[in-house]
Amino acid sequence: MKSLGILLSGRGSNFVAIADSIDNGRIPDARIGVVISNQAAAPGIATARQRGLNALVIPSKGKPREEHDREVVAALKRENVQLVCLAGYMRLLSPWFVQQFPHRILNIHPSLLPAFPGLEAQEQAFAYGVKVSGCTVHFVDEELDHGAIIVQKAVPVLDSDDEHTLAARILEQEHIAYTEAVNIVLSENFEIVGRKLIKRILRER
């Protein structure tokens, strides 16, 4: 059974989507070993506790990045976590953190990367006037919102949208995309060639 570590800073709806997928068998043979928030007030950490999961707050405020990262990595390793899922974790990981879990850290971002990296991606896309947006699950590397792409989902931007309705349409797809991406990575049935993730099963056809 694979152990997942979830890192979050806020609402936690992507964490809940992953936890639901594990509970109903859409992500088979996995468990959540630990949920960690850098924010004590994150609603996602309260949800994790309600679900009876191992939930930790490791405050980041006022700590040098790597010092905080060392505490987080120690907690993940204590739980033998094999796959780290960033789910609205609003902190950059230090290169040291990334090196602890090579190709074993996933992030979800609410745009079709490489468009609109960084904060408030849905607002950025809406303000730019794109007609299609979406979400990306990718491996975390040492650059912001940059590593190899695992899954992307596109959604239309409607004339009737504002940034909130667009963000809600993207979020629905985020929840689907994250489960797909976790299954791809846990299957270990892929290789990464340059920036490209190639599923082995597709390649052999």
The residues carrying an active-site annotation are 109
Segment 2-61, which members bind ligand GAR (CB under 6 A)? 8, 10-14, 44
Q: Which residues contact 170 (CB under 8 A, 6 or more apart)?
A: 110, 111, 122, 133, 134, 135, 155
Nearer to ligand GAR, 100 or 111 (CB): 111
- The region of 56-64, 95-103, 105-113, 126-134 touching ligand GAR under the rule CB under 6 A is 105-113
Distance CA 148, CA 137 (A): 9
Q: For residue 97, what are its two tokens?
A: 């953190």
Candidates 5, 110, 134, 147: give the one binding ligand GAR (CB under 6 A): 110
Question: What are the C-alpha distances in Å from 68 to residues 41, 61, 71?
Answer: 17, 9, 5
Segment 145-164, which members bind ligand GAR (CB under 6 A)? 145
Q: Considering the complex, what minimum distance in angstroms separates the CB of residue 174 from ligand GAR? A: 5
Beta-ladder partners of 133: 155
Q: Does 134 sit near ligand GAR (CB under 6 A)?
A: no
Q: Max Cα separation, the chain?
A: 52
Name the residue with tokens 């930790």. Answer: 56
Which residues bind to ligand GAR, rule: CB under 6 A? 8, 10-14, 44, 87-88, 108-110, 121, 145, 171, 174
